[in-house]
Chains A and B, each alone.
Chain A
Amino acid sequence: MQETRIVLRNVGKINPVKACEYAAAGGYEGLKKAFSLTQDQVIGTLKESGLRGRGGAGFPAGLKWQFVKNTPANQKYIVCNADEGEPGTNKDRVILAGDPNSVFEGMAIAGFAVGADKGYIYLRAEYPSLLISLNEALADARANGFLGKNIMGGGFDFDIEVRSGAGAYVCGEETALIESIEGKRGEPRFKPPYPGVSGLWGAPTVVNNVETLANVAQILINGAAWFKAIGTEACAGTKLFTLCGNIANPGVYEFPMGVNLKDLFAVGGGCPDGKKLLAVQTGGSSGSFLRADQIDLDMDIDNCAAKGATLGSGAILFIDETNCILDVLQDIMEFFVHESCGKCTPCREGNFRLLQMITAFNEGRAKEGYADTMLDLSSTMMSASLCGLGQSSPTAIVTSINNFRDVFCVKGCGRERGNK
Chain B
Amino acid sequence: MQGKGCNCSAKPTEPAVLAKVAAIAAPYKGREDMLIQVLREAQTVADNAVAKDVAAVIAKEMGLPLVKVYGVATFYAMFSTECRGKYVIRVCKSAPCKVKGAVEVLKAFEEELGISCGETTDDCKFTLETCECLGICDISPAVMINDEIYGDLTPAKVKEVIAKY
Contacts and interface: CB of A to CB of B under 8 A. Distances in A.
B46 to A, nearest CB: 15
A186 B76 contact: yes
Contacts, number: 128
A331 B94 contact: yes
Contacts of B78: 125, 166-167
Nearest to A327: B98
A285 B92 CA distance: 14
A335 B37 contact: no
Question: Which interface class (under 10, 10 to 19, 20 to 34, 35 or more) fits A?
Answer: 35 or more
A89 interface: yes
A90 B100 contact: no
Given A84-B135, A245-B95, A320-B99, 12 more contacts: A87-B133, A93-B136, A124-B135, A126-B135, A166-B77, A168-B76, A181-B33, A183-B36, A244-B140, A245-B140, A331-B94, A341-B75
B107 interface: no
Interface string A242-274: 101110001110000000000000000000000
Contacts of B136: 90, 93
Nearest to A130: B135
Interface of A: 84-90, 93, 124-129, 163-169, 180-187, 242, 244-246, 250-252, 281, 285, 315, 317, 319-320, 323, 327-328, 331-332, 334-335, 338-339, 341
A149 to B, nearest CB: 23
A242 B71 CA distance: 34
Q: Which size class do B's interface residues fall under? A: 35 or more
Given A93-B135, A185-B72, A168 B95 contact: no
A368 B133 CA distance: 34
B93 interface: yes
Interface in B74-114: 75-79, 93-96, 98-100
Given A317-B95, A331-B94, A166 B36 contact: yes
Given A285-B94, A328-B99, A331-B98, A168 B135 contact: no
Contacts of A89: 133, 135, 137
Contacts of B95: 87-88, 245, 281, 285, 317, 328, 331-332, 335
